[in-house]
Structure 1
Amino acid sequence: MTWERGYRALDLTASWNAPLTLLDDVDSSFTGERRLYGLPFRFGDDLDGPSLVRVTGEAEILVDDDCQWILFAHALEEPDVFEGAPVGSAAARYTFRYADGSAETVPIRRRFEIGPTPRLWQDRPIPLDWGQTPFLALPDAQHRLMHRTCGRFDAAGARFVDIDDPQARSPYVLPYRFYLWPWRNPHPERRVAAVEIASGGPAVLIGAVTLSRLAEDPFGRTVSRDLIFTLADGHGSVDEDVAVTVDRGTATYAYRTVDDGSLSRPPAWGGATNPRTGYVKVAATPSATVSLDVGGTGTATFTWGDILDKGRIVTADGTEWRLPDAGRAWIKGTVVDDATGEPLTCRLHFHTPDGVPLAPYGHHAHINSDGNTWNLDIGGDVRLGQRTYAYVDGEFEGWLPHGQVVVEAARGFDYVPSREELTIRPGQRTLELRLKRFHDPEADGYVAGDTHVHFVSTHGAELEARGEGVRVTNLLMSQWGHLYTNTEDFTGHPHTSADGTTHVFAGQENRTAMLGHINLLGLRTPVRPWCTGGAEESDLGGGLETTLAHWADECHAQGGTVVLAHFPVPNGEAAALIATGRLDGVEMIAYDDYNIGQYYRYLNAGYRLTLVGGTDKMSSEVPIGLVRTYARVPDPRRMDYWDWCTAVRSGDTVVTSGPHLRLSVNGAAPGSVLTGTRAVRGVAEFHSIFPVDRLEIVVNGSVAESRHWDSAVQTGSLEFDLAVDGASWIAARCYGPGEGAARHVARHKDVWERPIMAHTSPVYVASGDSYERTDKAVLAEMLQLIEGVEQHVRTRARTAWPGQVDHRHGSPDHDRFLLEPLAEARRTIRDRLDGQGLRPTAQ
């Protein structure tokens, strides 16, 4: 056979004396010419006839060629090492005879140069050869990347290790047959004539032999390094259809590099990538061929040794390839408060000047291949835009390259986010990062919480919350068809961090597709079912078992707190819940004109509704507390979970995705009711790490006072005087400046690009002795919503169970059970209309 880029497979036809059926699982064996680790090997073709060299005494294999290495694909027929044969004992002897008559003899030792050919081990729970391959040889099965986006459902976990591992299959399949042992010729100037194989007892099986004339180690021993490439014009962008492969080595998936030209304001809150520039980690021998594949078509190739020599090359298709400096240091780092020197939990992002993201050990440098992360990669890391951040508890370790490194660090809205360009010097072992506090809302008694988080573990939520300055996290169990989430996290009491400052409570988001979603916080016992009414929330074809009103009643009976999730949608039972006073708060997960407009309508109808904020976090593309609730508690230092819930119910809250906003009306905080006054004096002020250019006072849904800054600021205030005629509600809100007419509000780089804003709950003011206001049109619409829900329950919902059914609620009349809260809401609204003389004749 001919030489191929420094290697030649020997033809062993003359030496074959045994069939391949000696091997277990022979139907899965490979035959003929093969590429193993990118190197050529020639195996036998006939499964039943002679296609294998079996040596029980002595045998000779002719070579008659010059070489630097000889590679053997060999194994022992008997598994005697698993039956007591000593590891390291000689199983055979190979003698290499040179053309000049000299020779070199090498002992072939058990689990050093050779091992037993694997068996199926069907009578054992664990294959005996697993974890016991030879120390000096490689299995003939090379690691291969899994398909990046497709594959079996049962391989989902394996994707985190990139490679397709046949030993993880069930039933067990043999991952390899032979072991590849490279013998280095100590006299490459001498021509090798033959190799004599002498068995020391067990039968030696030779599957293939290959020669090398190259000085390189055939299988390579150099650790992977970054390879950066910029696609040529016409190749599109670096996405999941772009692959870089290496035949004599390994290459990871190709990822985009970080774009330093798209810095967020402020830093450490996300960024974009370079669409045409990517990186891949390559470990290869100098003779390896590196190939670029775009959309299934090969577009470029080059030899790894060429770029090792030159550092930069441009392939014929116009793609540029670069190798950064390979030096690196294992760094032990700390993050501390600049004023106190105390360790500080935060999130970190590192990248090189070339845009290669780096991560502290134990974290992802690149979350989930730029793809969606719903219920994936949850905990420990977060991605904003195309920057991946790692949550660290004041300390971290990992590799950083010598030279310049960019680091971004942030801790919620209370600290000044930082971006630094550091230099890691050879010999450096430590690194200290410092963050400065920007504003302390707890000095005013306001404590941050997130009302809506999914999928993370309790301890993962604690770490992430501490890194974002969130004291209370409501981790919500729920159901999506057959997926039940966070079941194991429910305890009926809060999990509190060791320092007593951070609380995670596993509650519930109970959901129906039509009636709505409701957050049940502070539950002592679960309120089941979590979801009902069929897909997509509940089981496909499932029935409507209960309503939001009944869930709310069960939560309140336990002393819990009820919040309508992502108000007002799904917009079904919301009107009934508001009319009957079953809600302790309505939740904003993103500022939207429609959602906030609906909130204002209910306020205008006289309902006093506390505004709360939550993220509805279901992926690593949003951090805990990106939208949060600040509620004022008596003593933040000694606050527990229940104190925070009580504060939420009091109505003294601010929802924010950045600015710390405060409102005072005649010295009263949000949630307060002021009566007997015809004029008020108030002040609103904000402190924000994000630029703000508008501060507005909203009265009864309209902007009554405002202040605009031509150049956005980080602190600002607005004093106002208002006349009061009748009953009015007063709230404050502020925004950051956006880009372009369609983006008039600044936005985060999370998956939903949420606006950067803040909004207080209202202060309620009345010139009379009590706060009363109404809106006939809103009440009429509420009755229509209630009518719609009732008609849905009566005519469309699945409420006809086949056979006899004994429901959880115990009522013999299931339909009546479902409809009772709606009838109660209708009566309440009609009573209000009657009391105001506003009842419409149609009702």
Structure 2
Amino acid sequence: MASDTHSTRFGAQMHTLDLRKYFTFPRARLEEEWWQELAERVQELPSGIVTCWGIPFALGPENGSRAIVASKNVREIMISIDARANYLCLLHQWYQMPHEIKMEDPTEGLVVGQYRLDYADGSSHIQPIRGRFEVAMVESPGPTWLALPFHMMEPIDPVKPPEGYYWGWAQYGVRTQHGEPLVYALQNPYPRKKIRKLVIEGFKDSPILIFGLTLYRGAAHPLRHLPRRVYRVDIPDGPAKVARSEIDLGNIVRIQRTLGPRGDKWLTSPYAGLVDEEPAWEPEDLLEISGAPDATVQVKLEGRRRPLKFSLGEAFHRGASSSGSAKLEVLGPRRQWMLVRVIDTSTGKPTPVRIHFSGSRGEYIAPYGHHEQINTNWFEDYGADVVVGNRNYAYVSGEFTTDLPVGDIYVEIYKGFEYQPVRTRFTVEPGQEVLELRVDRWKDLRSQGWVTADTHVHFISPHTAWLEAQAEGVNVVNLLASQWGRLFTNVGDFTGRVGINENDTIVYVGTENRNHMLGHMSMLGTQGLPVYPMCCGGPSESYIGDPDFVTMAEWALENRRKGGLVIRPHFPGCGHTEDPVPILKGLVDALEIRLNDFAIQEWYRYLNCGYKVAVVGGTDKMGAYCALGWLRTYAKIDINEPFTYDNWANAIRAGRSISTNGPLIDLKVDGYCIGDVIDMPVGGGTVEVHALAECFSPLGTLQVIVNGQVVAEESSPNGAKRLEIKQPIRITRTGWIAARCAGRPNLPGSYLAAHTSPVYVKCGDTRAFDGPAAQHMLALVEGGIEYLNTIATVFDESSRKRMVKLFEEARQELKGRLVVEAKQTLHHHDGSYHTHGHDAEPDHKH
């Protein structure tokens, strides 16, 4: 028997035999229809020199006979060899005739022919050719046990599928093995003996056709591949950058570029737990390879003219294969299955987390059931995986099983804003069955009545949303069905009630109702039937020709009637036309704000005009590029009340909320909490403000805002994990007070920010007002009216009039307030209204 031992010298020599003088099929004249059809089938096969599973074969010419026929009606065929070989590789196929197919009596192992090796010393070895073993058989339709399809599997990029390849099939990551004839490697039990000839004989009417024969000398079976492993090229002048790589007997599955080797630099990096991309320090290309032990791997490195050649079997079994001063090293060759537990030290129990495993060279090790290569394209990967910054993670339950390589493993564990991100190294010992990891909670706002939520998630299933929420420390997930042209998503998950309520985590499926011009509105907590239509007004939200039929304000009103919560998502983006209409009518419970300057200032404009609307945080997650809850809402419910979806929604309606992407922030004004109203005399007065911001990563500033202006600030140029302001603030008019914080500019975590909803201040019977802000709202309303009256595709004339009427009501309110409260004069010019105050020059003209 040929040996696959580690001491063997790996590498293959292959000699292709020319069988043209033995070919007898197809002939010029074939009278029976079955044989005619078989001839046509054979003519469609490749011709000339082909490579099958890395083995070259010489097939017959395009025209003429192309196969040896072996059946009981044909004399045995003798092929001269006169050479030594470990394996005789054949391309063959058994074609069953109808009268010999017995579906009612499958006989796997039926001997349909034989291959006999006659040696120079006069001895022989017979290899039976059996149905389902060496050849396929109709009665047993599974894959052949000892032979493989003509075309070897081929890795493809699921993120960038080949042209003409459906995206869904591309997610296999492989173009599967297929086609005929089969490739079969006949093992020579006496490889030191010279083979004089191969004698082929068929035992049935149904013929065995032989199309090609190649002698193989090597250390191992050419069709038995080693397990897929990751390899690195070790060169004296630094980390390898691979320009291209090839392998003869196998597949280069993938080339992945890492940030650099793991070690103290990675363990102490300030990027742990952050959304920032982590800078690469020593980027290196690693090769993911599967192939036969005798395979030769060729690697062309950037900056080098000649490719390096390595033995795959030598690298796999001995740890490395040399090519001059370079080495191909296998990473984590030995793997073993084990149980992994992640323990929350605050409870002593397993807890779901977002986790990243990597080897010593930075190669990502995905837990079983998760993707090593995560597809971050829109709507293309909605499993429990995510890329945060430039790092891969898997969402896992508190206990899971997976295979891990023996040796040093690096891990990052993340569980939301109230847990300290963990980066650590551990060693998997041979035979180890259980691995226990720990994560520490540094803050517990849940015990104080704070509930976290992501107000805006798409595409994933409710149960995947639940797992990801558990891992991210999110209590409420609002999974939103919607329309995207002809695509409808999560509609089948809508029930009109709480979908999942387990382990302090709720998933409720609502809808995001969208209009490309007027704007978007999220219908959360809808009870009963959904608020339809979800989208209108045409692309890119609804489909071509879909008319404007419902305004955002009407959607909001219907959801209110259904007991729901109304959120303006990613405010003020997507439309930015109708916003004043529902906000002025008090139909919007909160604005979902991304914590950038433009969005915040737009929110301030409404607050400065006395329109109370809270702030919330939501991710708008639509792919594996976004972690659920990385921007989230904290809402405070009564600690004496149970945690329910309704109680969470009531907290949002009451304005007891903050939006944050990491920092934990709170505000009290004279003991009043976020969302409260403080009554003061007409002239105002002094209040004591207490603002506090804390974070697992250093912060740069904490500010107190009054009516849009910074009135107090605490900063830390070097960064601090806790910032606090306690001081009196003078209030002179009706308005609002809020707190916000931010990270350190140009440093890791610079994006970190949080903003509270306001504490409102009412001075007597006065109302807050900001003339320029009101003018801005009026311009938006005017634009919406002209759009609806001019180019909008409307359902019918009565629908257009109904929608315009709502805009007209908002316009009249704003005009009235500008005249009465700002004492300004309105006049019309170029399609919009603008004002002049008391100080306008009397001779001003247009």
Mark yes or no: TM-score above 0.5: yes
Cα deviation, residue 272, structure 1: 4.9
1:523-553: per-residue Cα shift (whole Å, max 9, x none)?
Answer: 1222222111111112134322221111111
Cα deviation, residue 29, structure 1: 1.4
1:113 aligns with 2:150: no
1:635 aligns with 2:639: yes
- Mapped to 2, the partners of 1:282 and 1:67 lie a distance apart of 26
- Does the CA contact (< 8 Å) of 1:243 and 1:294 recur in 2? yes
AA in 2 matched with 1:841: L
Secondary structure at the counterpart of residue 370 of structure 2: coil
- Does the CA contact (< 8 Å) of 1:251 and 1:281 recur in 2? yes
- Mapped to 1, the partners of 2:462 and 2:388 lie a distance apart of 22
* Residue in structure 2 matching 1:436, options 419, 440, 454: 440
Cα deviation, residue 790, structure 1: 0.6
Greater Cα offset, 663-672 or 254-263:
254-263
AA in 2 matched with 1:776: G
1:635-692: per-residue Cα shift (whole Å, max 9, x none)?
Answer: 3882111111111000011111111111011111111110125221121112311211
Query: Superposition pairs for residues 423-822 of structure 1, below 5 Å?
Result: 423-499=427-503, 501-524=504-527, 525-569=529-573, 570-588=575-593, 590-635=594-639, 638-676=642-680, 678-739=685-746, 746-747=749-750, 755-768=751-764, 770=765, 772-799=767-794, 813-822=798-807
- Does the CA contact (< 8 Å) of 2:254 and 2:289 recur in 1? no
Match of 1:45 in 2: 61
Match of 2:418 in 1: 414
* Residue in structure 2 matching 1:151, options 149, 159, 162: 162
Size of the alignment, in residue pairs?
Answer: 789
* Residue in structure 2 matching 1:163, options 144, 166, 174: 174
Cα deviation, residue 216, structure 1: 2.2
1:832 aligns with 2:822: no
AA in 2 matched with 1:63: I
* Residue in structure 2 matching 1:351, options 355, 358, 376: 358
- Mapped to 2, the partners of 1:299 and 1:357 lie a distance apart of 29
AA in 2 matched with 1:534: G
1:439-482: per-residue Cα shift (whole Å, max 9, x none)?
Answer: 11122211001111111111111110111111111111122212
Secondary structure at the counterpart of residue 416 of structure 1: coil
1:597-637: per-residue Cα shift (whole Å, max 9, x none)?
Answer: 11122211222221111111111111111111111111388
Compute the RMSD of aligned alpha carbons. 2.8
- Mapped to 1, the partners of 2:200 and 2:43 lie a distance apart of 28
Greater Cα offset, 389-398 or 299-308:
299-308
Match of 2:77 in 1: 59
Match of 2:49 in 1: 33
- Mapped to 2, the partners of 1:485 and 1:387 lie a distance apart of 27
Greater Cα offset, 209-218 or 278-287:
278-287
- Mapped to 2, the partners of 1:637 and 1:392 lie a distance apart of 31
Cα deviation, residue 486, structure 1: 1.1
Match of 1:327 in 2: 334
Seen in structure 2, the aligned counterparts of structure 1 residues 771 and 593 have a Cα distance that, compared at 3 Å, is same
Match of 1:71 in 2: 89
AA in 2 matched with 1:819: V
AA in 2 matched with 1:45: P
Seen in structure 2, the aligned counterparts of structure 1 residues 730 and 426 have a Cα distance that, compared at 3 Å, is same
1:342-374: per-residue Cα shift (whole Å, max 9, x none)?
Answer: 110111100011111001110112312xxx421
Secondary structure at the counterpart of residue 550 of structure 1: helix
1:395 aligns with 2:399: yes
Match of 1:139 in 2: 149
Q: What is the TM-score of this pair, normalised by structure 2? A: 0.88
Secondary structure at the counterpart of residue 356 of structure 2: strand
- Does the CA contact (< 8 Å) of 1:683 and 1:720 recur in 2? yes
1:45-102: per-residue Cα shift (whole Å, max 9, x none)?
Answer: 2455354334334222221111121122222121646633511121112221111111
Greater Cα offset, 319-328 or 391-400:
319-328
Seen in structure 2, the aligned counterparts of structure 1 residues 825 and 55 have a Cα distance that, compared at 3 Å, is same
- Mapped to 1, the partners of 2:590 and 2:306 lie a distance apart of 58
Identity %: 32
- Does the CA contact (< 8 Å) of 2:234 and 2:240 recur in 1? no
Match of 2:109 in 1: 88
Secondary structure at the counterpart of residue 698 of structure 1: strand
Greater Cα offset, 189-198 or 417-426:
189-198
Seen in structure 2, the aligned counterparts of structure 1 residues 275 and 457 have a Cα distance that, compared at 3 Å, is farther
- Mapped to 2, the partners of 1:350 and 1:637 lie a distance apart of 40
- Mapped to 2, the partners of 1:496 and 1:637 lie a distance apart of 20
Cα deviation, residue 339, structure 1: 3.0
* Residue in structure 2 matching 1:265, options 252, 261, 270: 270
1:111-137: per-residue Cα shift (whole Å, max 9, x none)?
Answer: 112224x8xxxxxxxxx775x232122
Secondary structure at the counterpart of residue 157 of structure 1: helix
- Does the CA contact (< 8 Å) of 2:50 and 2:56 recur in 1? yes
Q: What is the TM-score of this pair, normalised by structure 1? A: 0.88
Match of 1:340 in 2: 347
Cα deviation, residue 268, structure 1: 3.8
Match of 1:244 in 2: 245
- Mapped to 2, the partners of 1:545 and 1:154 lie a distance apart of 38
- Does the CA contact (< 8 Å) of 1:675 and 1:771 recur in 2? no
- Mapped to 2, the partners of 1:352 and 1:71 lie a distance apart of 38
- Does the CA contact (< 8 Å) of 1:44 and 1:52 recur in 2? no
- Mapped to 2, the partners of 1:44 and 1:342 lie a distance apart of 67
* Residue in structure 2 matching 1:15, options 22, 46, 58: 22
Cα deviation, residue 26, structure 1: 4.1
- Mapped to 2, the partners of 1:249 and 1:34 lie a distance apart of 16
- Mapped to 1, the partners of 2:823 and 2:354 lie a distance apart of 55
- Mapped to 1, the partners of 2:496 and 2:762 lie a distance apart of 41
Secondary structure at the counterpart of residue 502 of structure 2: coil
- Mapped to 2, the partners of 1:231 and 1:520 lie a distance apart of 58
1:211 aligns with 2:215: yes
AA in 2 matched with 1:681: E
Secondary structure at the counterpart of residue 174 of structure 2: coil
- Mapped to 1, the partners of 2:25 and 2:164 lie a distance apart of 40
Seen in structure 2, the aligned counterparts of structure 1 residues 399 and 563 have a Cα distance that, compared at 3 Å, is same
* Residue in structure 1 matching 2:295, options 272, 278, 288: 288
Cα deviation, residue 574, structure 1: 1.0
Seen in structure 2, the aligned counterparts of structure 1 residues 65 and 320 have a Cα distance that, compared at 3 Å, is closer
- Mapped to 1, the partners of 2:776 and 2:328 lie a distance apart of 63
Cα deviation, residue 726, structure 1: 2.0
Cα deviation, residue 6, structure 1: 0.6
1:378-401: per-residue Cα shift (whole Å, max 9, x none)?
Answer: 231111122111111101221211
Secondary structure at the counterpart of residue 672 of structure 2: coil
Cα deviation, residue 237, structure 1: 6.6
Cα deviation, residue 219, structure 1: 1.7
Cα deviation, residue 775, structure 1: 1.2
| Structure 1 gap ranges (5+) | 119-127, 167-174, 748-754, 806-811
